[in-house]
């Protein structure tokens, strides 16, 4: 059986890692028919700190193909993936293409495969923000509607699909990112235990902030409001550390003058490796973010999270009390960041860390 995984953006390198381990384990334990697993990198992310660092740190095999698509508009990126991926899929003829999450690489992978009648499996199916202004929402909805296997992380995701008439091929498996966190955090503690010291952070005495969503970075007013909040928090004596996504770096250029002077306790740094990021999240007093993955990691580490958006797909994190939605209002963000609150310690969602093994078992049985 031959499976091809299509990945291209930072969180997808993390999502694929437990799947690779589950396939390796399956191949070790079951000698009847091995699974051949191809990794096809679209090239959507390409900077060392957005790409290679994850392959190196997580010990991922080299991608079998890198389509080298790079940056561009949504349509450019998706169209280039379609063109370049079709060639590879026609040559390799996999039994299934697996796509992950909701990026342009997800949509490109799913569409390219389904058009040439290769079955598609969507990992992280059924998520909805109900906001079609987000490119990711369009990517998710279309990907779900053309997928043959829909691997859902939550009951909510299963219900979302049912509401859209999708019931066949739907499996509630849990969240592969939880698999990744459970596996990685202990290793991170051994391998990267110097990261707090390196960035001059003391456990539970700093706020971690990440921001990269197009809705925030491409709207100057929103981006200014959000960075004004970071400044306000830093000026109250709490250190704020911001590992900066390259998209945000680009957008911030034109704002730096308006934001000056920046307090010395606001540390804008390069993106972190996954292991470093897990430790910085775990030890944060509060996390401010518009990232999907980071909201969940905050919840898994039981760190209060303020989401810099008006809605979230990961509603369980809000229901648990660990995540609060603040949009881009600087006063609200600052108040929540300075407040000490906690959510429900016993709340349990997103599976048991075995989502990837379930996916492999289902595919083995069905294909």
Residues numbered 78 to 117 that lie near ligand UD1 (CB under 6 A) are 102-104
Nearer to ligand UDP, 234 or 277 (CB): 277
Strand partners, 40: 6, 65
Is the Cβ of residue 135 or residue 308 nearer to ligand UD1 in the bound state?
A: 135
Nearer to ligand UDP, 195 or 232 (CB): 195
Does the protein bind ligand UDP through residue 120 (CB under 6 A)?
Answer: no
Q: Which is nearer to ligand UD1, 232 or 280 (CB)?
A: 280
Residue 246 binding: pick among ligand UD1, ligand UDP, none (C-beta 5-8 Å cut-off by kind): ligand UD1
CB 261 within 8 A of CB 235: no
Sign of the Cα torsion 235, 236, 242, 247 reads negative
122 in active site: no
What's the length of the chain?
367
**Residue 322 binding partner per list ligand UD1, ligand UDP, none, with a CB distance cut-off of 5 to 8 Å that depends on partner kind:** none
Cα–Cα distance measured from residue 2 to residue 31, given in angstroms and rounded to the nearest whole number: 15
Selection from ligand UDP, ligand UD1, none that 297 binds (CB < 5 to 8 A by kind) is ligand UDP
- What would you report as the CA-atom Rg of the chain, rounded to the nearest whole angstrom? 20
274, interface contact from ligand UD1, ligand UDP, none, CB < 5-8 Å by kind: ligand UDP
Distances (CA, A) of 302 to 197, 235, 244: 22, 26, 23
DSSP per-residue letters across 164-177: TT--TTEEE---HH
Residues 218-257, mask of contacts with ligand UD1 (x by CB under 6 A) = ----------------------------xx--x-------
**Contact of 125 with 170, CB cutoff 8 Å:** yes
Q: At a CB cut-off of 8 Å and minimum separation 6, what does 158 contact?
A: 126, 152, 170, 172
Binding track over 182-221 against ligand UDP, x by CB under 6 A: ----------------------------x-x---------
The nearest distance, CB 111 to ligand UD1, in angstroms, is 13
* Joined tokens for residue 262: 């920046």
| Cα separation values, 275 from 181, 185, 301, Å | 9, 7, 14
* Partner interacting with residue 71 (select from ligand UDP, ligand UD1, none; CB below 5-8 Å by kind): ligand UD1
Rounded CA-CA distance 130/134 in Å is 9
Residues between 227 and 246 with contacts to ligand UDP, criterion CB under 6 A:
243
Nearest CA to 336 out of 217, 207, 235 is that of 207
| Interface positions, 255-284, toward ligand UDP (CB under 6 A) | 271-272, 274, 277
> Minimal CA–CA distance to 195: which of 284, 296, 288, 263?
284
Kindly tell me which of 240 and 272 has the beta carbon lying closer to ligand UDP.
Answer: 272
Q: Which of 3, 4, 9, 360 binds ligand UD1 (CB under 6 A)?
A: 9
Active-site annotation, residues = 212
List contacts with ligand UD1 (CB under 6 A).
9-11, 44-47, 50, 71, 102-104, 135-136, 212, 246-247, 250
């Amino acid at each position: 059986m031959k499976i091809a995984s299509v990945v291209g953006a930072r969180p997808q390198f993390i999502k694929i890692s437990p799947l690779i381990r589950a396939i390796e384990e399956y191949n070790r334990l079951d000698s009847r028919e091995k699974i051949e697993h191809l990794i096809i990198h679209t090239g959507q992310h390409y900077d060392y700190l957005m790409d290679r660092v994850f392959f190196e740190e997580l010990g991922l095999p080299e991608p079998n193909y890198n389509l080298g698509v790079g940056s561009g508009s949504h349509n450019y990126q998706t169209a280039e993936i379609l063109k370049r991926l079709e060639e590879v899929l026609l040559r390799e003829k996999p039994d299934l293409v697996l796509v992950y999450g909701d990026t342009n690489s997800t949509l490109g992978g799913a569409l390219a495969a389904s058009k040439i009648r290769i079955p598609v499996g969507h990992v992280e199916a059924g998520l909805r923000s109900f906001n079609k202004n987000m490119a990711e929402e369009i990517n998710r909805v279309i990907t779900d509607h053309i997928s043959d296997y829909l691997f859902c992380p939550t009951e909510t995701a299963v219900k979302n699909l049912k509401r859209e008439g999708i019931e066949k091929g739907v499996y509630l498996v849990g969240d592969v990112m939880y698999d990744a966190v459970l596996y990685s955090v202990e290793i991170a503690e051994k391998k990267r235990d110097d990261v707090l010291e390196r960035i001059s952070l003391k456990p539970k005495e700093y706020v971690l902030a990440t921001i990269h969503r197009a809705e925030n970075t491409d709207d100057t007013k929103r981006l200014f409001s959000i960075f004004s909040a970071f400044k306000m928090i830093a000026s109250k004596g709490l250190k704020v550390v911001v590992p900066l996504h390259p998209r945000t770096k680009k957008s911030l250029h034109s704002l730096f003058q308006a934001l000056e002077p920046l307090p010395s306790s606001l540390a804008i740094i390069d993106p972190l490796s996954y292991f470093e990021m897990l430790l910085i999240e775990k030890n944060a007093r509060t996390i401010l973010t518009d990232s999907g993955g980071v909201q969940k990691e905050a919840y898994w580490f039981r760190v209060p999270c303020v989401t810099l958006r008006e809605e979230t797909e990961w509603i369980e994190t809000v229901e648990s009390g660990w995540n609060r939605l603040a949009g881009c209002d600087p006063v609200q963000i600052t108040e929540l960041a300075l407040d000490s609150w906690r959510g429900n310690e016993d709340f349990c969602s997103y599976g048991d860390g075995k989502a990837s093994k379930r996916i492999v078992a289902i595919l083995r049985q069905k294909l």
